[in-house]
Amino acid sequence: MNKKNPWFALFWIALLLVALLLINSMLRVGQEVKLEYSQFKQYTRNGNMVKVSVAKDLIKGQFRDSDGVLKNFRTIPMEDHNLIKDMEDNKVLEFSAMGKGWVGPLLFNWGPMLLLIAFWFWMMRSTMGGSKQAMSFGKTKAKLAKTSVIKKVTFKDVAGCDEAKEELQEIIEFLKDPAKFQKLGGKIPKGLLLFGSPGTGKTLLARAVAGEADVPFFSSSGSEFVEMFVGVGASRVRDLFEQGRKASPCLLFIDEIDAVGRHRFAGIGGGHDEREQTLNQLLVEMDGFDTREGVILIAATNRPDVLDPALLRPGRFDRQVVVSAPALKDREEILLVHSKKIKLDKDVDLKIIARRTPGFVGADLANLVNEAALLAARNCQKSVNIKNMEEAIDRIIAGPQKKSRLMSDSEKRIVAYHEAGHALIAKLLPSADPVYKVSIVPRGFSLGQTLQLPEKDKYLTSKTDLLDRLVILLGGRVAEELVFFEVNTGDSDDISKATEIAVRMVSEFGMSDEIGPMALRRPNEEVFLGRDISSRRSRYSEETSKIIDKEVKSIISDARNRALKLLKENMARLIKIADYLLERESLSGEDIDKIIKEESVVPECEESIALEEKKKIVVEKEVTNAEVVDAKV
C-alpha cells in the first residue's frame, strides 16, 4: 500500500476520531449511576438534584448523594405529567430538554460500516494502475532494468565460466545482428536455462548478458507469479511476454524458475493447482500457436531435477548451460576480480589461495576476500596479509574460533592424539591429498581439524583413493585406542563419513567383488514429493541386503586394520606430533614433514622474530642505498 496516498491519511484520521468518540461514550456511560425512576423522584423532592436533562426516552444529569458527593446519573422516564412542576417546586439549578444530536449516534451506529466502505475504496485505489482498471493483480511484477544500470555489468566482471559465456555469446550476437543467423535459415534458441550449485554466478551471468547485448532486460523471480488469487500467475505470465513482444528484441529473465516450473501433478494439490496453471501458461507462451521471435527467455535454478519435462524439451529451453564450481584457474580469476578494491600485502599470492580453496564457488570466494578485509580492519592493519586470508579460509570451512570453549588438559590431549592420527596417516599414504594444516583450536562444532588440500582439481576418484580416505578417517579413532585404550563420542562424525563412503562403494560405485557392478541405491539427492516417494522402494532382496552389510563391515574393518598397523609402526612420530600440537595448537604441513624426518621444528615465536629481523635488514639496506644515492648527487 502506498503510504503517500492521501486516502491513507484520511482513513487513519477517520479511524482515530471514531475510536475516540466510542471510548468517550463508553467512559461516560461507565461513570453514570443508573437510578430507578422512583429514586430519581425522591432525590428531586429532597432537593438533591443539581442538573437535569430530559429527552423522550432518557433522563440524565447530576445529583448529590447522602454523603454530599456529586455524581452523574441516568434513568428511563415514565409517563409523569408533574415532572416539570416538581423540578420548579424543588428549585433544580439547571433544567433543560436534551437535544437530538445526530453526529454521535451516526458514528456510533454506522461508524464500523463507514470504516469498511472507506477501507474498500482505499484498497481499490491502491491496487488500480495508471489506466484505472478494476485491479492490477494480473500485471507482471517484472522490472525493466535501466540502461545505465545494465551496462555496469559485462562479461569482464564475470571471472571463470568460460564455457557458459561462450554459449551466451551466441545469444548476444543474435540480438545485435539477427540477419547474420536468419540469412542461413538458422533460428536462435527461444529459451536458455542456467543451472548449477548455489553461488556459482547464474544471476550474475544473466545480468552480464543484458549488459553486453544492450537490449531491454525484464527481470523477475519465480515466486512473483504465484499468488493466493486463482489465475493471477497465468495472467502475469501473459503480461510479461506481452511486454516483451512490445519491446522486441529483448531478454526476459526468471530467477529460481523451479518455484513455478515444478513437475506437474506431483502429489501437491490436484490437476487444477494454481502453480500448474501458471506453468501451463508459461509453456504456451514459450512455444504455442501464437509465437513470435525476438523474445528470449533466460531462467536460472539450482534444482533442474524437479522441473517439468515439457519445460526442458527443444523449442522451449533449447539450451541448458551448466554453471559448475570454478576450477583452479577460474578461482584465481575470481579472487582477482573481488580483490581489485582490496589493498593486499606483497606476501599474498592469489594462486596459493586458489589452490587452498577447492570446492569454493564464486560467492564463497567473494565472502573469503571480504572476511579477510574485515579481519585486517579489526586488527587496525593498513593492508590484508596472508594470515588474514588463511584465517578467513578457516572461518568459512569450519567456523570462527571458539575462544570461550575451554577444554580440560585431558580432553585437549585426546583431541591432539586424534588429529595427530589423521595427519600422520595422511602423510604416510602416497595417494592421499597433502596435509595443509592440523589444529586443535575449536571451530564451529569441531574440537579440532586436519585440513587436506589437493594439489590440482580432481574429477574422478579411484577405489584406491576411497580406501585410503577410509584409513585416514579411522586414523583418529585408532590413535585414541592405542594411547588411551578406549574411545569417546568425538569419533562419531568420522564413523558416519566412513560408513557413508563404504555403503556408496558397495551399492552405487560397484566396487565390491561380492556384489559386482550393480547400482542398488539412488544417488544422494533431495526427495521430490510425488515423483520419488512411490519409487523409493528397495531394489534388492533381504538376502542381498545382508551381503551389502557384510561387505560394508569388511571394507571398514580392513581400513581400521591398515590404520592400526601404520600407527603401531610409527608410534614415536604420533607421540611427537601430538606433543607439538599440545604445545603450539596448530601445525602446518611443512612442520609435520619435519617431524616425520626427525628435523627440528622452529617455534612460532622464533619464526616471527626471524621474519621481523629480515624486514629490518631489508629496510636498513634500502635506507643505506638511499643515503649513498643522495651523497653521489
**Mind listing the pLDDT tens digit for each residue in 304-355?**
888 888 888 888 888 888 888 888 888 888 999 888 888 888 888 888 888 8
- The confidence score (pLDDT) of residue 478 equals 94
- Please provide residue 606's backbone torsions phi and psi, each rounded to the nearest 5 degrees: -70, -35
Predicted local confidence at residue 551, as pLDDT = 93
Q: Greatest CA separation found in the chain?
A: 130
Let me know if 620 is a catalytic residue. no
- Angle 436-464-485 (CA atoms, 0-180°, nearest 5)? 65
Q: Cα dist. 249→205, 245, 320, 495 in Å? A: 19, 7, 21, 57
501-514 average pLDDT score? 90
What residues contact 208, with CB distance under 8 A and at least 6 apart? Answer: 153, 154, 155, 157, 158, 165, 168
Confidence of residue 58 (pLDDT cuts 50, 70, 90): confident
Name the architecture of domain 143-322: 3-Layer(aba) Sandwich (3.40)
Residue ranges of the domains in the chain?
6-104, 143-322, 328-398, 412-526+537-601
State pLDDT tens for residues 144-191: 665 555 567 788 888 878 888 888 887 788 777 777 777 777 777 778
Find the mean pLDDT for residues 552-564. 94
* Secondary structure E strands in 506-568: none
pLDDT in tens, 525-535: 555 544 554 45
Per-residue model confidence as pLDDT tens digits over 225-272: 776 666 777 888 888 888 888 887 788 888 888 888 888 765 554 445
Cell of 274: 494454481
Provide the pLDDT confidence category of residue 210 given band limits of 50, 70 and 90.
confident
Torsion, Cα 151 155 161 164, to 10 degrees, reads 80
| 614 or 281, greater pLDDT | 281
Tell me the C-alpha distance between 426 and 411, whole Å: 23
Nearest to 595 by CA among 606, 583, 611: 583
The answer to whether residue 87 scores a pLDDT higher than 50 is yes
What is the CA angle 435-484-431, rounded to 5?
Answer: 25
pLDDT at position 369 is 92
What is the reported pTM? 0.66
Closest to 50 in 3D by CA, of 60, 39, 58 = 60
Q: Would you say residue 199 has pLDDT above 80?
A: yes
Q: Report d(CA 494, CA 418) in Å as an integer.
A: 11
Calculate the CA 182 to chain-centre distance. 43
- Class level of CATH domain 328-398: mainly alpha
Other CB atoms within a 10 A radius of the CB of residue 564 amount to 17
349-395 tens-digit pLDDT: 888 888 888 888 888 999 999 999 999 999 888 899 988 998 888 88
Encode pLDDT of 432-471 as tens digits: 888 888 988 888 778 888 888 887 777 788 999 999 999 9
Q: Which residues pair with 74 in a beta bridge?
A: 34, 60
Using a 10 angstrom Cβ sphere, with 0-12 exposed, 13-18 middle and 19 or more buried, the burial of residue 53 is middle
CA distance 112 to 184: 70
Q: Residues 407, 413, 414, CA angle at the centre, nearest 5°?
A: 90
Is the separation of the CB atoms in 188 and 181 below 8 Å? yes
The cell for 332 is: 584465481
Q: Which three cell numbers stand for residue 237?
A: 505470465
Cis peptide before 249 (omega within 30 of 0): yes
Residue 415 near residue 407, CB atoms below 8 Å:
yes
Q: How far does CA 189 lie from the centroid of its chain?
A: 32
Copy the grid coordinates of residue 583.
604445545
- What's the rounded mean pLDDT across residues 49-73? 77
Is the pLDDT confidence value at 630 over 50?
no
The partner residues of 193 in beta bridges, in order of sequence, read 299, 320
Please tell me the predicted confidence (pLDDT) of residue 302. Answer: 87
CA neighbours closer than 13 Å in the CB half-sphere of residue 189? 22
Q: Exposed (0-12), middle (13-18) or buried (19+): which is 166, by Cβ within 10 Å?
A: exposed
For residues 60 and 586, which has the higher predicted lDDT (pLDDT)? Answer: 586
What pLDDT score does 470 carry? 95
Q: Which residues contact 530 (CB under 8 A, 6 or more apart)?
A: 263, 265, 266, 267, 268
- Supply the CATH classification number for the domain 412-526+537-601: 1.20.58.760
Closest C-alpha to 476, from 415, 422, 413? 422
Looking at per-residue pLDDT, the higher value among 459 and 422 belongs to 422
72 forms bridges with which residues in the sheet? Answer: 62
Tell me the C-alpha distance between 157 and 222, whole Å: 25
For helices 492-507 and 542-569, what crossing angle results, to 10°? 130
Sign (positive/negative) of CA torsion 38, 43, 44, 50? Answer: negative
Q: State whether CATH 1.20.1420.30 applies to domain 6-104.
A: no
Which residue has better confidence, 624 or 254?
A: 254
Annotated catalytic residue, options 212, 256, 419, 551: 419
How far apart (Å, rounded) are the C-alpha atoms in residues 196 and 361?
Answer: 10
Distance from C-alpha of 46 to C-alpha of 90, rounded to nearest angstrom: 8
Phi and psi torsions of 336, nearest 5°: -65, -40
The burial of 183, by beta-carbon neighbours within 10 Å (0-12 exposed, 13-18 middle, 19 or more buried), is given as: exposed
Q: Which of 498, 469, 479, 485 is nearest to 577 (CA)?
A: 479
